[in-house]
Structure 1
């Protein structure tokens, strides 16, 4: 089969790009791997997040802000196309602190970034009664919070489902169980899957998450990505008591509370461990003591896709022009940008965003 674009990877990143290209009239085939693969799109925290990102690279903060600003229109359009509700809420998000020293240190960093962004970094510091008016169930261990107005959260599984449905609705082909093992370029690209399926494409986007580390070098990329495990818990459905999300906990639109914040270098082992689950549950109880009586109904581990500096990689191959590497650990936050703005970069239009600082050759210095 022939197509304009072959997208390797059918997670949130790949499907967002596919949807954006289809909206521009391109023919797209998405090659999604085996069900047993590592899938960050099925295990993430669902945050649409700006704060704390880009402290050392303001362009990343700007890119996240651009995506966050586009998210409402992106979600509405997906909802109209699929008849679904992504559960998007963008009323701000919290960075909780348990000491004044920690809070003040973070505020100082935010002020530096805010100056670099020309003042466009809207946040507010809440302490004591001001915080408890916003979040009545906050525990006494929390001394303050930074409320960032551009933050929010979404139902990530509904996002993934809606993207796949919308891509197909626009005529895109999503082929599941197709692990690409070879990419050749006699003239156009020829992609060969492990089951013998072949796809010819004018251009290729490698957005296979951790799979890029193996396939990337065959396409002229270094693809220096590695796994970083996070573990999560979800409680039973509860009456709403959390008004805004944080990195510690968020209450999903269906009532359950998702609890997280763990980072572990365990290679490709993505199972759950009692000690880590106990640790993140204890921290969540410090923030929301009322969770003490809640029943946990599900736990899981998932692997983030991390570059050496934690930032995305956007790169065209020098060896295979027309092949692009797109990888990040913020696939949900950046989904709107990938759908709305990245096609201009792939097509090299006058409206292409400046992504030069995210080239992978930054790691060669």
Structure 2
């Protein structure tokens, strides 16, 4: 007999790719889920990313293991969504196009080869190329290439379409999606367990658990919920060119110094050349990283640096018009690892955040891991490095600066 439950088992706060993946994985296991977002669906960090699914930029360790699991999971998940929703509703422009990392200076070339060797030892398909082999992969690539590594496992998808498909499955299974609803904290029973999510306008939403998937704003919600986290916004900018002929840029291509920019904890601006095409023929140019709170000022010097570095990698881009530029905030943690799992300080509070610029690629495995931990299943990756109480999450700064 069907038993109707009046209140959700879980409230997921945040409708971006991570929150959507958590909600999908939970509803697939029979949990009743409500997703809350103060803004329109997937309009935050997810709408301002490039859709990268990467192993190429990750050193051996827990984040790489999570990325490898996620890259295996994404095609399976998308195929299951297509069966459930139909190909049109589940389409998200998934492309297993592969990646190419290049070095244009000898010191960077040596570092790139060494980095790729460590990744191969961890199971990554990383193939050393000569300069001529790199040119065969990317005919428009600069002649300055001194070394290159091909990563066939790297892929790309359209992040808003992917998150929308995940949320469509949540709805189809009886879940509820509520936008324009600002989650301002939680209500707890006498023992400190979460029994409801407080909202600014709609009153309390009773539930058995809440998942903090607020992205760059996760520090704000964690603080309000009684489980502070040092999640800070780190801003990035992207340029979008006018459409170019097919094959101008065939893979995701970036300079070898991108790995250092990703792993940097500096507040100052870091830029690196990252270039890739979309199905529409436009070329996306990144990337930048800067910790400046929630300041969304468009800095022309950042855009110029991105354009200049991209033109070094692909001289053909020098005279290509730029149609627009956009930026977004990414959830940064001091040890560069996401936070996934229950918060022991506040029973019923769960976190899925801190992925910084890798959230799209890590989302499939993150949602699966959180749902496994919630239901008591054996986790498919080791959850210990992502736990709330790890040493790298000591709170040294005020996390919420709206």
* TM-score tier (shorter): over 0.9
Q: Distance in 1 between matches of 2:168 and 2:297?
A: 29
Of 150, 154, 164, the residue aligned with 1:151 is 154
- The 1:35–1:276 alpha-carbon spacing in structure 2 relative to 1, beyond 3 Å, is same
Contact 1:271 1:300 survives alignment (8 Å): no
Report whether the alignment pairs 1:195 with 2:201.
yes
Pairwise CA distance, 1:69: 1.2
Q: Which runs of 5 or more structure 1 residues have no equivalent in the other structure? A: none
Which residue, 28, 35, 44 being the options, matches 1:30? 35
For the Cα contact (< 8 Å) 2:42–2:164, is it kept in 1? no
Conserved 8 A contact 1:8-1:208: yes
Q: CA deviation at 1:37?
A: 11
Alignment CA distance shift 1:133-1:109 (3 Å):
closer
Residue 174 in structure 1 maps to residue 202 in structure 2: no
Partner residue in 1 for 2:325: 299
Which 4+ residue blocks in structure 1 deviate beyond 6 angstroms? Answer: none
Separation (CA, whole Å) in 2 of partners of 1:364 and 1:312: 10
Question: What is the alpha-carbon distance in structure 2 between the residues aligned to residue 143 and residue 110 of structure 1?
Answer: 15
CA shift for structure 1 position 169 = 2.1
Aligned to 1:210: 216
TM-score with structure 1 length normalisation? 0.92
Q: Does the Cα contact within 8 Å between 2:237 and 2:325 map onto a contact in 1?
A: yes
Distance in 2 (CA, whole Å) between partners of 1:104 and 1:163 is 41
1:43-64 Cα deviation digits (max 9, x unpaired): 0121001122144xx1221111
Match of 1:337 in 2: 365
Mapped to 2, the partners of 1:104 and 1:178 lie a distance apart of: 51
> Separation in 1 of the partners of 2:276 and 2:124?
22
Partners of 1:258 and 1:273 lie apart in 2 by: 17
Q: Aligned to 1:343, what secondary structure does the other structure show?
A: helix
Unaligned runs of 5+ in 2: 1-5, 255-273, 395-402
- Whether the 8 Å contact between 1:344 and 1:353 is mirrored in structure 2 is no
Q: Secondary structure at the match of 1:73?
A: helix
SS at match of 2:361: coil
User: What is the TM-score when the length of structure 2 is the normalising length?
Assistant: 0.84
Q: How many residues align?
A: 360
Q: Which residue of 2 aligns with 1:163?
A: 166
Distance, in Å, in 1 between the alignment partners of 2:70 and 2:297 is 31
The answer to whether structure 1 residue 20 and structure 2 residue 25 are counterparts is: yes
RMSD over aligned Cα atoms:
2.1
Between the aligned partners of 1:239 and 1:158, the Cα distance in structure 2 is: 24
